[in-house]
Copies of this chain bind each other. A is one copy, B any other.
Amino acid sequence: MRRIALALVAALACSISAAAADPLPSWNEGAAKKAIVDFVAATARAGSPRFVPVAERIAVFDNDGTLWSEQPMYFQLAFALDRVRALAPENPSWKTTEPFASILAMDIPTALADPHAIAQIIGATHAGMTNDEFAKIATDWLATAKHPKTGHLYTEMVYQPMLELLAYLRANGYATYIVTGGGAEFVRALADRVYGVPPQQVVGSTIALRFEPNDGKPALVREDKIDFVDDGDGKPVGIQKFIGRRPVLAFGNSDGDQQMLEWTAGGSGARFVGLVHHTDAEREWAYDRHSAVGQLDKALDEATARKWTVVDMKNDWRVIHPYEMKAPQPPQP
């Protein structure tokens, strides 16, 4: 009897130890998880034929749809629309001017129908203040705004498996960067706290800044002019300008990430290229080739042709959002 008890204790200890040693507990066992773990182990182990020196261990991640959700609209667009509503009292003319009138009437499809609408909305909500003021506005919004479907803070709608992957990479000497089509300053307002990615490791779209000396109290003022779009071809360009090294690992989820993935894959030596495929209509959303947000079509074909790792969200992720882990059990009937 005592022997059996001891064996049970030992087995339990082993299983606890194995669980504690799993760096990616929210990933189900499968090809995607195995490919990641094999790659990281091989590139971080001295003497391995696929070894990568620490200085070159650069990992880049798209944000929208790769690190957090992006439905029913990019979260930064939700922020911009909330800002239009908040600023409407100071801008009475918006009641009769598009795209603002439709936003205030909650008719978003009409508001966004004009191809210039987004630039107008960005100009009205992301420019005209100092950069520090904008950072505070974004931080305050992120601290309180809730997602319309889940009721959770937007910053809670990050992907638990990707948080684990970021931490796992950093523990193995990788520098983790975000390379986002979203605004660099908007994403910086959450990246350090939520992803552990400091501001200097966020590459994103930018608007022009104007330096004002102000006699010793200088400011950087955000101008109504987009000067870099970090999407599509812009992603490898942004990577080279800001990081100056070609990444060895890249993760995206949409056609806007395709060039970043190609640029990463095209380097010599060990490379890992991954795509998050949104396949879980119950726990998250299911969309790809025909989605208006985060369309994944050409990049999915290329991933298949080039044998990139495609993460099937429904099957590969045991948990999607961190709040699922803390969710209370449903009452028993």
Q: From known contacts A245-B200, A263-B211, infer whether A131 and B216 are also in contact, taking CB-CB under 8 Å.
A: no
Question: Is the Cβ of B211 less than 8 Å from the Cβ of A245?
Answer: no
Smallest CB separation, A102 vs chain B (Å)? 33
A206 close to B (CB within 8 Å): yes
Which residue on chain B has the smallest CB distance to residue A201?
B200
Smallest CB separation, A114 vs chain B (Å)? 28
Smallest CB separation, A54 vs chain B (Å)? 11
Smallest CB separation, A332 vs chain B (Å)? 47
Question: Is the Cβ of B184 less than 8 Å from the Cβ of A218?
Answer: no
Which residue on chain B has the smallest CB distance to residue A55?
B198
- Give CA–CA (A175, B198) in the complex, Å: 12
Q: Which of B200, B209, B211, B217 contacts A243 (CB 8 A)?
A: B200
Smallest CB separation, A240 vs chain B (Å)? 5
A82 close to B (CB within 8 Å): no
Question: Is the Cβ of B211 less than 8 Å from the Cβ of A131?
Answer: no
Number of copies: 2
Question: Is the Cβ of B216 less than 8 Å from the Cβ of A236?
Answer: no
- Give CA–CA (A87, B244) in the complex, Å: 26
Q: Which of B131, B213, B241, B243 contacts A240 (CB 8 A)?
A: B131
Question: Is the Cβ of B244 less than 8 Å from the Cβ of A213?
Answer: no
A233 close to B (CB within 8 Å): yes
- Give CA–CA (A58, B199) in the complex, Å: 12
A242 close to B (CB within 8 Å): yes
Question: Is the Cβ of A216 less than 8 Å from the Cβ of B55?
Answer: no
Most central of A241, A242, A259 by chain B CB within 10 Å: A241
Question: Is the Cβ of A265 less than 8 Å from the Cβ of B200?
Answer: no
- Give CA–CA (A183, B240) in the complex, Å: 13
A188 close to B (CB within 8 Å): yes
Identify 8 new A-B residue pairs, CB closer than 8 A, beyond the known A209-B237, A216-B265: A131-B240, A175-B200, A185-B244, A200-B242, A211-B236, A211-B259, A218-B262, A220-B236
